[in-house]
Structure 1
Amino acid sequence: MLIRPLRESDLPDVLDVVYRSMSVVRARIAIAAGTAPPDPDAAPPAGWPERWSAQILHLLGTDPGGAWVAEDGDVFGVGLALVRDKLWGLSAYFVRPDRQGTGAGAALMEPLLEYSRGCLRGIIVSTEDPRAARRYRLAGFTLHPTMRSSGVVRREVLPVVDGVRLGGIGDRDLCDSSDRRTRGAAHGPDHDFLSERYQLLVCDTLTGSGYCYVDKDGSPIQLAASTKKVAQRLLWSALALSPPGATVHVNHLTAAQEWAVDVVLAAGLSVRTEGYLALRHMRPPEPYIPSPAFL
Structure 2
Amino acid sequence: MGDLIIRPMTADDVEGAERVSDEGFFELDTRVRRVSGPEPARRTAAHRATWIERTRHLVRTDPGGCWVAEDASGVVGIATSLRRETLWCLATYAVLPGHQGRGIGRPLLAAALDHGRACLRGMLSSSVDARAVRLYHRAGFELHPQMRLSGTVDRSAVPVVDKVRDGSAGDVDLMDSLDRLARGAGHGPDHELMLRTWRLLVSDTSTGRGYAYLDERGPALLAASDRRTASRLLWAALAEVPGPVGVAHVTGVNQWALDVGFAAGLELHQDGYLGLRGMRPPAPYVHSGALL
> Matched residue of 1:83: which SS?
strand
> Which residue in 2 is equivalent to 1:77?
77
Mind listing any 5+ residue stretches in structure 1 that lack a counterpart?
A: none
> Matched residue of 2:223: which SS?
strand
Distance in 2, Cα, partners of 1:36 & 1:237: 26
> Which residue in 1 is equivalent to 2:142?
142
> Matched residue of 1:37: which SS?
coil
> Which residue in 1 is equivalent to 2:9?
6
Equivalent residue in structure 2 for 1:265, among 262, 266, 269:
262
Q: Does 1:54 align with 2:56?
A: no
Opposite residue 95 of structure 2, the aligned amino acid is V
Distance in 2, Cα, partners of 1:254 & 1:174: 24
C-alpha contact 1:28 1:37 (8 A) present in aligned 2: no
Distance in 1, Cα, partners of 2:189 & 2:54: 12
Deviation at 1:46, TM superposition (A): 2.6
Q: Does 1:292 align with 2:289?
A: yes
Supply the RMSD in Å over aligned alpha carbons: 1.2
Count of residue correspondences? 288
Distance in 2, Cα, partners of 1:234 & 1:273: 23
Q: Does 1:20 align with 2:23?
A: yes
Mind listing any 5+ residue stretches in structure 2 that lack a counterpart?
A: none
Distance in 1, Cα, partners of 2:15 & 2:203: 40
* TM-score, normalised by the number of residues in structure 2: 0.96
What are the Cα deviations for residues 53-83 of structure 1, in whole angstroms up to 9, with x where unaligned? 1011000011000010000030010000100
Distance in 2, Cα, partners of 1:225 & 1:36: 31
> Matched residue of 1:3: which SS?
strand
Change over 3 Å in CA distance of 1:35–1:277 after alignment to 2: closer
Distance in 1, Cα, partners of 2:29 & 2:214: 22
Opposite residue 161 of structure 1, the aligned amino acid is V
Q: Does 1:45 align with 2:47?
A: no
> Which residue in 2 is equivalent to 1:66?
65
> Matched residue of 1:16: which SS?
helix
Distance in 1, Cα, partners of 2:85 & 2:38: 43
* TM-score, normalised by the number of residues in structure 1: 0.95
> Which residue in 2 is equivalent to 1:102?
102
Distance in 1, Cα, partners of 2:35 & 2:205: 40
> Which residue in 2 is equivalent to 1:170?
170
> Matched residue of 2:45: which SS?
coil
Q: Percent sequence identity over matched residues?
A: 47
C-alpha contact 2:50 2:197 (8 A) present in aligned 1: no
Opposite residue 230 of structure 1, the aligned amino acid is T
List, as ranges, runs of 4+ consecutive aligned residues in structure 1 with deviation greater than 4 Å.
none
What are the Cα deviations for residues 17-44 of structure 1, in whole angstroms up to 9, with x where unaligned? 0110121233245x315246336xx6x4
> Matched residue of 2:212: which SS?
strand
> Which residue in 2 is equivalent to 1:252?
249
Distance in 2, Cα, partners of 1:80 & 1:282: 21
Distance in 1, Cα, partners of 2:38 & 2:253: 32
Output aligned runs, 1:121-136, within 5 Å.
121-136=121-136
Q: Does 1:223 align with 2:225?
A: no
Distance in 2, Cα, partners of 1:277 & 1:159: 30
